[in-house]
Protein backbone atom coordinates (compact mmCIF):
# COMPACT_ATOMS: atom_id res chain seq x y z
CA UNK A 1 0.00 0.00 0.00
CA UNK A 2 1.55 3.33 -1.01
CA UNK A 3 2.02 6.32 1.24
CA UNK A 4 2.34 9.98 0.31
CA UNK A 5 4.19 12.87 1.92
CA UNK A 6 2.74 16.28 1.14
CA UNK A 7 4.25 19.65 1.91
CA UNK A 8 3.87 23.31 1.04
CA UNK A 9 6.84 24.92 -0.69
CA UNK A 10 6.91 28.51 0.60
CA UNK A 11 9.59 29.56 -1.88
CA UNK A 12 7.79 28.36 -5.02
CA UNK A 13 4.32 29.49 -3.94
CA UNK A 14 2.78 32.54 -5.59
CA UNK A 15 4.84 32.77 -8.77
CA UNK A 16 5.90 30.86 -11.89
CA UNK A 17 3.75 27.75 -12.42
CA UNK A 18 2.14 28.48 -9.03
CA UNK A 19 1.25 32.09 -9.86
CA UNK A 20 -1.35 33.23 -7.28
CA UNK A 21 -1.47 29.69 -5.87
CA UNK A 22 0.02 27.64 -3.06
CA UNK A 23 2.70 25.26 -4.33
CA UNK A 24 2.24 21.71 -2.98
CA UNK A 25 4.79 18.94 -3.38
CA UNK A 26 3.46 15.37 -3.07
CA UNK A 27 5.94 12.48 -3.00
CA UNK A 28 4.72 8.89 -3.25
CA UNK A 29 6.50 6.33 -1.05
CA UNK A 30 6.32 2.54 -1.10
CA UNK A 31 7.01 1.84 2.58
CA UNK A 32 6.58 3.49 5.95
CA UNK A 33 10.37 3.69 6.26
CA UNK A 34 10.59 5.66 3.01
CA UNK A 35 7.80 7.90 4.23
CA UNK A 36 9.69 8.71 7.42
CA UNK A 37 12.90 9.44 5.48
CA UNK A 38 11.10 11.76 3.02
CA UNK A 39 9.24 13.62 5.78
CA UNK A 40 12.45 13.99 7.83
CA UNK A 41 14.23 15.38 4.77
CA UNK A 42 11.37 17.82 4.18
CA UNK A 43 11.78 19.10 7.75
CA UNK A 44 15.44 19.89 7.00
CA UNK A 45 14.38 22.36 4.32
CA UNK A 46 13.28 25.72 5.69
CA UNK A 47 11.06 26.47 2.69
CA UNK A 48 8.95 23.36 3.32
CA UNK A 49 6.05 23.75 5.75
CA UNK A 50 2.82 21.87 6.54
CA UNK A 51 4.41 18.45 6.09
CA UNK A 52 1.91 15.59 6.30
CA UNK A 53 1.91 11.83 5.80
CA UNK A 54 -1.07 10.25 4.01
CA UNK A 55 -1.68 6.54 4.20
CA UNK A 56 -4.95 5.48 2.64
CA UNK A 57 -5.25 7.76 -0.36
CA UNK A 58 -3.34 10.38 -2.27
CA UNK A 59 -4.16 13.87 -1.01
CA UNK A 60 -6.38 16.06 -3.16
CA UNK A 61 -5.90 19.81 -3.48
CA UNK A 62 -8.29 22.12 -5.32
CA UNK A 63 -6.52 23.18 -8.55
CA UNK A 64 -8.06 26.67 -8.28
CA UNK A 65 -6.05 27.28 -5.11
CA UNK A 66 -3.05 24.92 -5.37
CA UNK A 67 -0.37 24.04 -7.89
CA UNK A 68 0.57 20.41 -7.16
CA UNK A 69 3.78 18.63 -8.21
CA UNK A 70 3.57 14.86 -7.84
CA UNK A 71 6.76 12.79 -7.73
CA UNK A 72 8.01 9.26 -7.11
CA UNK A 73 11.32 7.78 -6.02
CA UNK A 74 12.38 7.40 -9.65
CA UNK A 75 12.39 11.17 -10.28
CA UNK A 76 13.13 12.49 -6.76
CA UNK A 77 15.60 9.87 -5.53
CA UNK A 78 17.63 12.24 -3.32
CA UNK A 79 14.57 12.71 -1.07
CA UNK A 80 14.82 8.99 -0.18
CA UNK A 81 18.40 9.20 1.14
CA UNK A 82 18.40 9.60 4.95
CA UNK A 83 19.72 13.02 5.99
CA UNK A 84 20.26 14.18 2.40
CA UNK A 85 19.40 17.81 3.15
CA UNK A 86 21.02 17.93 6.60
CA UNK A 87 23.55 20.72 6.82
CA UNK A 88 26.50 19.93 9.03
CA UNK A 89 27.24 22.45 11.72
CA UNK A 90 30.76 23.76 12.18
CA UNK A 91 31.07 21.67 15.36
CA UNK A 92 30.10 18.52 13.44
CA UNK A 93 32.66 19.27 10.71
CA UNK A 94 35.43 19.84 13.28
CA UNK A 95 34.52 16.65 15.14
CA UNK A 96 34.53 14.66 11.89
CA UNK A 97 37.90 16.15 10.86
CA UNK A 98 39.44 15.32 14.27
CA UNK A 99 38.21 11.72 14.08
CA UNK A 100 39.77 11.01 10.70
In this prediction, residues 8-18 reach a mean pLDDT of 91
Cα–chain-centroid distance for residue 19? 20
pLDDT at 7: 98
The range of the structural domain enclosing residue 95 comes to: 3-99
pLDDT in tens, 16-42: 888 999 999 999 999 999 999 999 999
Dist CA 27 CA 6 (whole Å)? 6
Cβ contact 51:39 at 8 Å: yes
Dist CA 39 CA 59 (whole Å)? 15
Dist CA 12 CA 67 (whole Å)? 10
* pLDDT interval class at 87 (50, 70, 90): confident
Number of domains in the chain: 1
Amino acid sequence: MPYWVSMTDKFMSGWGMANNKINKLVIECETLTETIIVSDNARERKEMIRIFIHRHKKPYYNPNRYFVSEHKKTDYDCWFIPGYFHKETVKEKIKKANNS
